[in-house]
Amino acid sequence: MIIILLGPPGAGKGTQAAHIVEKYGIPQLSTGDILRAAVAEQTPVGIKAKEVMDLGDLVSDDIVAAIVEERIDAEDCAGGFLLDGFPRTLAQAEMLDTMLLDDLMEKQERNLDAVIELRVDADLLIERLRTRVKETVARGEEPRKDDDEETFKYRLKVYQDQTAPLIPYYEKQGKLKVVDGMGAVDAVSAEIDAKLDQFRR
Ligand code: AMP
């Protein structure tokens, strides 16, 4: 099962990704998490990506595509995986299509099953951000640099400009499943399950 989780920052992708991982037993591949780990370890990719990430901009398509290509070749992804935060541009979506097609030619059956779009009201996202930052501080942890309110608003704009075009792209492929992301966590999970159960293998 190969699934993409799409939605603006703060839509609840991380929370729902955890649910999908548990329920369907596929690994989560979050390019944001992988990049943050690279920044923390100061790898060459991390050093390149840090400034761009702090500003709320997108890391180059080639860098993230290389990360994903390497990761999906790992053994634990053989039975499928969940992409969280990738693709984020049309170019990345096309690169993913090519990667899966290449795998198909090598006789590995790899089809993108569904793209779950978590649809949320933009006004609610700022509220959710404030709650997330407060909870992080309450746990004694440092909030993400890109969760600063101005940067967050900029990330929303980047989503609208660069990532939202993926919605019609996947709609045309017949892969798009829209889920109302405004409800309680369990209600959103239940709606995701209703859309994904047909792909269970
Ligand atoms: P996220 O945790 O998914 O919100 O990602 C945090 C940051 O990592 C983003 O604001 C981007 O700077 C970078 N990033 C994560 N995934 C991608 C991607 N697919 N393409 C470009 N940049 C990305």
CATH number at residue 178: 3.40.50.300
Residue 77 CB burial class (10 angstroms; 0-12, 13-18, ≥19): middle
Instruction: Please identify which of the residues 71, 132, 153, 175 carries the catalytic annotation.
Output: 132
Identify whether 140 is part of a domain.
Answer: no
Identify whether 150 is part of a domain.
Answer: no
pLDDT band at 193 (very low <50, low <70, confident <90, very high): very high
pLDDT at 19 over 80: yes
Residue 9 contacts residue 120 (beta carbons within 8 Å):
no
On average, the pLDDT of the chain sits at: 93
Identify whether 131 is part of a domain.
Answer: no
Residue 88 structural domain: 2-121+164-199
Q: What is the mean pLDDT of residues 77-100?
A: 95
Structural domains counted in the chain: 1
Identify whether 126 is part of a domain.
Answer: no
Closest ligand 1 atom to 57 CA:
12
Identify whether 129 is part of a domain.
Answer: no
Closest CA to ligand 1's atom 12: 53
Q: What is the mean pLDDT of residues 75-82?
A: 93
Identify whether 128 is part of a domain.
Answer: no
Whole-number Cα distances in Å, 187 to 10, 37, 40, 69, 122:
17, 31, 35, 33, 19
From the list 70, 75, 68, the residue with the least C-alpha distance to 29 is 68
Residue 155 contacts residue 146 (beta carbons within 8 Å):
yes
Identify whether 174 is part of a domain.
Answer: yes
Q: Could you give the CA distance from residue 188 to residue 144 in angstroms, rounded to a whole number?
A: 25
Identify whether 35 is part of a domain.
Answer: yes
Q: Could you give the CA distance from residue 171 to residue 116 in angstroms, rounded to a whole number?
A: 11
- Comparing 109 with 9, the larger pLDDT belongs to 9
The answer, yes or no, to whether any atom of ligand 1 lies below 6 A from the CB of 56, is yes
Q: What is the mean pLDDT of residues 64-68?
A: 96
